[in-house]
């Protein structure tokens, strides 16, 4: 999981319309994408899923495509090679 440190806007990720797949508590537990990703990380870890979280310093939403891809590639290289 990768998110930019400055990816803190909340106007784009407000509560979704009522839907059975969107629990209301999701909008109360996390203020922005970084918070939500941290919450998802914890949920994955509690379920026994191997997950890593990286915060990209100084990067806002949409500006970290190349650094995010580089981090994702390193993650897959470690896991596919069996070194992690």
Arithmetic mean of pLDDT over the chain: 79
What is the tens place of the pLDDT at every residue in 51-69?
888 888 888 887 778 888 8
Structure pTM?
0.66
What is the tens place of the pLDDT at every residue in 16-44?
566 666 656 555 555 788 888 898 999 99
pLDDT range class, residue 72, cuts 50, 70, 90: confident
d(CA 63, CA 42): 25
Burial state string for 5-28 with b = 16 or more CB within 10 A and e = fewer than 16: ebbeeeeebeeeeeeeeeeeeeee
Which tokens hold the place of 13? 């990720």
């Amino acid at each position: 999981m990768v998110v930019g440190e400055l990816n803190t806007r909340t106007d784009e990720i407000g509560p979704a319309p009522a839907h059975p797949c969107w629990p209301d508590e999701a909008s109360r537990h996390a203020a922005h994408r970084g918070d939500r990703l941290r919450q998802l990380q914890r949920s994955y870890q509690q379920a026994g899923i191997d997950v890593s979280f990286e915060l990209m310093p100084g990067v806002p939403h949409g500006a970290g495509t190349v650094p995010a891809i580089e981090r994702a590639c390193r993650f897959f290289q470690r896991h596919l090679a069996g070194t992690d």
